[in-house]
Amino acid sequence: MLIQYTGGARQRIVGSHVWSQANGFVADILDAELAATLLTARGFVVAHDEPLAGLPGVGAQRVAELTLVGIASMGDLRALDDAGIARVAGLIWASEKQIRNWVELARGTATPERVRARRARHTKEDER
39-75 pLDDT, tens digit each: 999 999 999 889 998 888 888 888 888 988 999 889 9
Distance CA 115, CA 128 (A): 20
pTM: 0.72
Instruction: pLDDT band for 118, please (50, 70, 90 cuts).
Output: low
Counted domains in the chain = 1
* Residue 127 confidence (pLDDT) above 60: no
Top pLDDT among 121 and 54 is at 54
Residue 52: DSSP 8-state = G
The pLDDT tens digits for 95-107 are 999 999 999 989 9
Contact 80, 94 (CB under 8 A): no
Sheet strands (E) in the chain: 2-5, 11-14, 17-20, 26-28, 44-46
Range of 122's domain? Answer: 2-127
- pLDDT attached to residue 114: 62
* Residue 126 confidence (pLDDT) above 60: no
